[in-house]
Amino acid sequence: MARRPPQPAALGEAALHVLLALADGPRHGYAIMQTVAAESGGGVRLGPTTLYRTLRTLHEAGLVAEVPHDDPGDDARRRYYDITDDGRAAAREQLRRLQRLIDTARAKPRLRPDPA
């Protein structure tokens, strides 16, 4: 049976952050954690348990793949991950859904910031 990417609503915040971190290229776990923290301005910090549970879920769904690496300065025990074509499609769809939600929120007068 072929794997299908989860429905966009199934991508939680951690999963989307991991996919975004991998959109720039393959990374090992610690580098993914650092990228997520940097890209979120420190607002999101994935602990090891959350990160590796999320990677396992994304891997099982076919949204990320473990890839070989040959960085001689790196620890040979590190596992590198990369986003798959299905992962890119799932991330793009989730981002479209979020953009529609943001557009809806911006149209709500009672949610607009008070004028300074």
Strands 27-28 and 80-83, sheet pairing: antiparallel
Whether 115 maps to a domain, the answer reads: no
Whether 90 maps to a domain, the answer reads: yes
Structure token pair of residue 57? 């879920």
Please report, for the domain that includes residue 98, its CATH number.
Answer: 1.10.10.10
Length of the chain: 116
> What pLDDT is stored for residue 1 in this prediction?
56
Using CA atoms, how far residue 101 sits from 54, 56, 97, in Å, is 24, 28, 6
Whether 47 maps to a domain, the answer reads: yes
> What pLDDT is stored for residue 4 in this prediction?
57
Q: Tell me: the pLDDT tens digits for 10-67?
A: 589 999 999 999 999 999 999 999 999 999 999 999 999 999 999 999 999 999 999 9
Q: Is the pTM of this model over 0.95?
A: no
Number of domains composing the chain = 1
Whether 1 maps to a domain, the answer reads: no
Give the separation between CA 10 and CA 29, rounded to whole angstroms.
22
Owning domain of residue 60? 10-108
> What pLDDT is stored for residue 72 in this prediction?
66
Instruction: Give the bridge partners for 64, in sequence order.
Output: 83
Whether 35 maps to a domain, the answer reads: yes
Whether 70 maps to a domain, the answer reads: yes
Q: Tell me: the pLDDT tens digits for 76-100?
A: 678 999 999 999 999 999 999 999 9
Whether 17 maps to a domain, the answer reads: yes
